[in-house]
Amino acid sequence: MQVISSSTAKKRVVNVEGYVNQFINYLAVERGLAQNTLESYGRDLRQFQEYVQSNDTEIINDSARTTILNYLTNLQEKGRAVSTISRNLAAIKSFYQYMVREQYITQDPAASLEAPKLEKKLPKILTINEVEELLKQPSSLVPTGFRDKAMLELLYATGIRVSELISLNTPDVNLDMGYIKCYGRGAKERIVPLGSIAAKCVQEYIAKGRPKLVRTYEEAALFVNHHGNRLTRQGFWKIIKKYAHEAHIAQEITPHTLRHSFATHLLENGADLRAVQEMLGHADISTTQIYTHVTKNHLKEVYDKTHPRA
């Protein structure tokens, strides 16, 4: 691909689809980003490209900075969340950084643009009683009940992401030593301790549930659906929604809720923030610190309810 000069770009609308595809390939091969992340980048950049084409404007020329600003304003006018706008800008900035680094363009039009400030939303968590009610719901009379119990216990015991849960293979679980090996963002490996209750539930699933669900001995996935294939994120979403309803949990629950609850309950009981960061697989401790705000709110509620002069 040739270098796109300003004078060339002024004369014609540049078709950047090839550059976007090359950038996504770079993220996959050189950066090793997860498939979900790659799809997110691709979706945001192609949406940006569609806006540019529909408005008959430029994406790579001297006025590209104005184009980007107009696009972000367009997203805002459509009522897009601040987090969505920030994610779109992050994708655009990464794309232009790549274009400069590969010397396809000489100047980065997005270099000085700043993302809108995000409102820090505290994660929704379950109380310990709600977690216990949720974990009671799966039946031990059917293979899927053993599977669902093992998955829920494993999520709450380790705090791993749902994407990491469904990606687990049978060799990734060491029940004798009490740990699991999972691969987080960027295919980064980490070891997470596994509690005795969760280990027992996984053992029961492997012995009594999984053999009745898998169709072939070659299947490596730890958690499989009724077809014998690896369980999907959407499949797990339906499962946790079902049990939340049966447990009469009023608040909206997501696959991430048990991860949030895991981190918050650890900190409430005196766990070290760095240890929680490592278990969650957060690259930056500031991401983990959001849970300290949740625990502070919890302490304030306890104080207000129990202190005679609160």
Q: What pLDDT, in 10s, does the model give residues 5-23?
A: 444 444 334 556 788 899 9
The answer to whether 131 and 261 are in contact (CB under 8 A) is yes
In this prediction, residue 283 has a pLDDT band, given cuts at 50, 70 and 90, of: confident
User: Is pLDDT above 90 for 272?
Assistant: no
pLDDT for res 1: 47
Q: Looking at residues 279-299, what average pLDDT do you find?
A: 71
User: Is pLDDT above 50 for 154?
Assistant: yes
How big is the CA angle at 161 (ends 156 and 163), to the nearest 5 degrees? 130
Superfamily covering domain 128-306: Intergrase catalytic core (1.10.443.10)
Q: At what angle do helices 17-29 and 35-54 cross, to 10 degrees?
A: 170
The answer to whether 135 and 153 are in contact (CB under 8 A) is yes
Query: Which secondary structure element, helix H or strand E, spans residue 276, and what is its range?
Result: helix 273-280
The position carrying tokens 């490592």 is 278
pLDDT for res 33: 86
In this prediction, residue 303 has a pLDDT band, given cuts at 50, 70 and 90, of: low
pLDDT for res 200: 95
Q: Looking at residues 184-207, what average pLDDT do you find?
A: 88
Q: Is the pTM of this model over 0.75?
A: no
List, in sequence order, every beta strand (DSSP E) within 117-204.
173-174, 179-183, 189-193
Average pLDDT along the chain: 83
Q: For CATH 1.10.150, list the domain ranges present in the chain.
A: 6-101
Question: Which residues does 28 contact at the CB level (< 8 Å), separation at least 6?
Answer: 38
Question: Which residues does 156 contact at the CB level (< 8 Å), separation at least 6?
Answer: 131, 135, 198, 258, 261, 262
User: Is pLDDT above 80 for 299?
Assistant: no
User: Which amino acid would we find at residue 264?
Assistant: T
Instruction: Please tell me the distance from the alpha carbon of residue 274 to that of residue 43, in angstroms, as a whole number.
Output: 34
Instruction: Indicate the burial class of 254 (C-beta count within 10 angstroms; 0-12, 13-18, 19 or more).
Output: middle
What does CATH list as the number for 6-101?
1.10.150
Residues 84-127 have pLDDT tens digits of 888 999 999 999 999 899 888 888 888 888 877 655 666 788 88
Instruction: Please tell me the distance from the alpha carbon of residue 125 to that of residue 192, in angstroms, as a whole number.
Output: 21
Instruction: Please tell me the distance from the alpha carbon of residue 180 to that of residue 174, in angstroms, as a whole number.
Output: 6
Residues 29-72 have pLDDT tens digits of 988 888 888 999 999 999 998 888 787 666 666 568 888 888 88
Range of weakest confidence among 78-92, 132-146, 271-285: 271-285
